Amino acid sequence: MKTKYINVRNWQNFLLNQIEKYDVFSLFESAEADRVDYRYLLLTAENLNNTVVGKYRSVIPIKSFFFPPVEKISSIDVKKPKILVGVKACELAHLKLLDAMFLGGEYRDPVYEEERKNTIIISADCTSCKDSCFCSIIQGQPYPTSGFDMNLRPVGDDFVVEILSEKGRELVDKNKQLFQDSLQDHVDESEKNRQTVSELVLKTNKDFKFDKSLNTVVRPQKTDLWKELAKECVECGGCRFSCSTCYCFLIGEMENFEKYRLWDACQFKGYARVAGGGNPKPTKEKRYRNLYSCKFDYRFENFGFYACTGCGRCIEVCPAEIDVREVLSRLDNANKR
């Protein structure tokens, strides 16, 4: 993998050079209460000085760019190509699963495929973590190693730039006057930053203990246990809609017989209902168990990796304050009795 170095002023000039050809979506701070969050906004010359690469992942999952909440699927609209800036490692892992779902089978979803082809991903290392982040205890790490076109490794206010794909190389070559060769000192400093954040994630999650074989952790059949775990869930669907690896959808028909795809959630009572009113998952605990089986067992069996990357959005959005880490810990303890 080729590396370069760019200072923050040249980085802003680089982004400015892209907004004519691409819709560039970058992260911007969104301060709420006592915390700082990040949201993707369309980059313009006017808001360029306010863009950041973000300390951690955005509030809204980036699956919305490839698999939006509502989208027309009866035809493919030609759109301006996009660049996403500041994508974090957990999101790249999400895309790995969505790619396996929409592109990995006998039938390739043409709408999703078009969006993926027309998007350049510029990822970035995390430089901190939220209380809800737990990537390092679930087969992940707070920095990207694959799945990006370019990756930014912050060094002070500047960046070591990793170039992985042909798309990334073309962007750098067209703006080569803005980049310089990276020095080993730059790389070494960024490695230290990675180690520091990895240790921070582990420290944040020191109280959560569960076996790494999560596909077996979620298999207990004890009905009373699942009833207890599901007791606080209000089935709002917030955790499903904020999760980048959830891809269940409904097909609807609008005016002029246009077909639309809409997000759906396995926690909704009507999700599994069939003609005649039959429902294989009529109770809340069965639907709740299916959620964990889907994330940690079924997807592992089908794709070889979990459908959870530790981003923690489900923890933040839950009105009942259900924490997936606590649930996994309780399941693991139940298995060991």
Residues 12-30: tens digit of each pLDDT: 999 999 999 999 999 999 8
Q: Please report whether residue 69 resides in a domain.
A: yes
Residues 40 and 185 in one domain: yes
Residues 98 and 127 in one domain: yes
Residues 165 and 226 in one domain: no
Total domain count, the chain: 2
- Structural domain containing residue 196: 2-204
For the chain, the average pLDDT equals 92
Picking from 149, 180, 204, the residue at the C-terminal end of a domain is 204
Residues 56 and 164 in one domain: yes
Work out the average pLDDT over 255-264: 89
3-class SS string, the chain? CEEEEECHHHHHHHHHHHCCCCEEEEEEEEEECCEEEEEEEECCCCCHHHEECCCCCCCCCCHHHHCCCEEECCCCCCCCCEEEEEECHHHHHHHHHHHHHHHCCCCCCHHHHHHHHCEEEEEECCCCCCCCCCHHHCCCCCCCCCCCCEEEEEECCEEEEEECCHHHHHHHHHCHHHCEECCHHHHHHHHHHHHHHHHHHHHHCCCCCCCCCHHHHCCCCCHHHHHHHHCCCCCCCHHHHCCCCCCCEEEEECHHHCEEEEECCCCCCCCCCCHHHCCCCCCHHHHHHHHHHHHHHHHHHHHCCCCCCCCCHHHHHCCCCCCHHHHHHHHHHHHCC
Q: Please report whether residue 209 resides in a domain.
A: no
The per-residue pLDDT for 58 is 95
Residue 337 pLDDT grade (very low, low, confident, very high; cuts 50, 70, 90): low
Q: Please report whether residue 133 resides in a domain.
A: yes
Residues 164 and 246 in one domain: no
Q: Report the C-alpha gap between 69 and 110 in whole angstroms.
A: 17
The per-residue pLDDT for 33 is 63
State what percent of residues in the chain have pLDDT above 70: 99
Q: Report the C-alpha gap between 41 and 229 in whole angstroms.
A: 37
Residues 157 and 260 in one domain: no
Which of 37-41, 123-127, 215-219, 262-266 is the least confident region? 215-219
Spatial CA neighbour of 207 closest among 308, 309, 141, 137: 137
Spatial CA neighbour of 204 closest among 138, 141, 142, 131: 131
The per-residue pLDDT for 123 is 98
Residues 200 and 324 in one domain: no
Which of 192-201, 265-274, 309-318, 319-328 is the least confident region? 265-274
Evaluate if pTM is beyond 0.75: yes
Residues 272 and 242 in one domain: yes
Q: Please report whether residue 163 resides in a domain.
A: yes
